[in-house]
Amino acid sequence: MAEGLALRDLTGDAAAAPVALLGMSKASLEAYFARLGEKPFRAVQVMKWLHHRDADDFATMTDLSRALRARLEAEATLAMPEVVQDHQSKDGTRKWLFALADGQRIETVFIPEKDRGTLCISSQVGCALDCSFCATGKQGFNRNLTAAEIVSQVRLARRALRDTDFGRPKPITNVVLMGMGEPLLNFEPVLEAISVLLDDLGYGISKRRLTLSTAGVVPAIRALAGRTDVALAISLHAPTDELRDQLVPINRRYPIAELLDACEAYLEKLGEWRSITVEYTLLAGVNDRPEDAEALIACLARLRERVKLNLIPFNPFPGSGYARPDARDVRRFQERMMAANYATMVRTTRGDDIDAACGQLAGAFDDRTKRRTRYLARLRDHGEIIHGQSGR
């Protein structure tokens, strides 16, 4: 119980004043306008101005009364993070570094493909978890993002992409909460942001194209089933508790059996035609061996028909202690899983030349956990250099 309390304290919500309209769902806006003595339809008007017309100023909202616009100007905000850096990879992947109002910085990545455009957004400044193979975890943790800061990543990315390809915008068709942070440790702001992203008055993202990824916060997965039915991805990365305890420390609190029980409960909410994605980062000589594939087949047996397995070859970073597996070992692992009737894909590494690949996002922020200080000290002790982060 002490561990759980410490974790909740560590991820306490940020202050919510002034009223940040960008992160408010239709229901929240209706409640807000009711408190102002306004009719519910004001929520529809404001959402259209914000998310369809991309308004940055209350003065432009001409279908609101002057008195209401003045009231909003006085007590609400449309503030968004500032774009500090905008990097584009040789493969077309794009990564933004956003500065938040308090000076903390987060990263967001857009991955263009032939038939879709996927935006990977962050839910926390850093990450409260410490998965051993993830660069974000090594940087430590500062705070949760507000719903407005989560939604703003989509708004700013859409704006930045609007004029690419000779005036033909690259659409954001998919949104994945797989950036910095553990979304389910920022439960209410994440769900509020999800509501905005799904709403036709917001961004109209299909629930099948909005994916929430979690390392396995079991109570929150169970609570999630009663609140939404977006796509769910589980960061498993190991087929046994013994190995997962080392790779994904939250497993010591919520072991694999409990995690899979919660996944089954969520699948009941989704219905028979939906599935969940299992993310599995392949680490050379650690979890990519034939015996690991056999253990994974047994581990996921009860969910076989409802699982899509996503294999992710490890993306190296300084001081990780892990290596990327050989392509032959990756292919062998995939073939064994497919032979056992698991739908299995290998995720193509994108944006690694700009540190935008899976597990490489780092941001720039004050680490409340002091984890980053220990990480950098270990790199110095071993004579390693962490490129591009000396000034953070």
Residue 128's contacts (CB-CB under 8 Å, 6 or more residues apart) are 7, 10, 11, 141, 181, 182, 185, 369
Q: Where are the alpha helices (DSSP H) in the chain?
A: 2-10, 26-35, 41-47, 66-75, 135-138, 147-161, 187-198, 218-224, 241-247, 256-270, 290-299, 327-339, 371-381
- The answer to whether 107 is a known catalytic residue is yes
Q: Rounded to whole angstroms, how far apart are CA atoms 214 and 236?
A: 9
Of 127, 131, 299, 358, catalytic: 358
Contact at 8 Å (CB) between 199 and 154? no
Q: Across-strand partners of 87? A: 95
Q: Rounded to whole angstroms, how far apart are CA atoms 293 and 329?
A: 11
Of 107, 149, 182, 279, catalytic: 107
Measured in degrees and rounded to the nearest 5, phi and psi for residue 358 equal -55, 130
Contact at 8 Å (CB) between 248 and 206? no
Q: Rounded to whole angstroms, how far apart are CA atoms 122 and 107?
A: 7
> Look-up: residue for tokens 């980062």?
281
Measured in degrees and rounded to the nearest 5, phi and psi for residue 332 equal -65, -40
Token digits for 382? Answer: 């071993």
Residue type, 336: R
- The answer to whether 294 is a known catalytic residue is no
Torsion of CA 119, 121, 127, 129, to 10 degrees: -60
Edge to edge, the sheet with strand 210-214 lists 82-88, 94-99, 105-112, 117-120, 174-177, 210-214, 231-235, 276-282, 307-313, 343-346
Q: Please list the active-site residues.
A: 107, 358
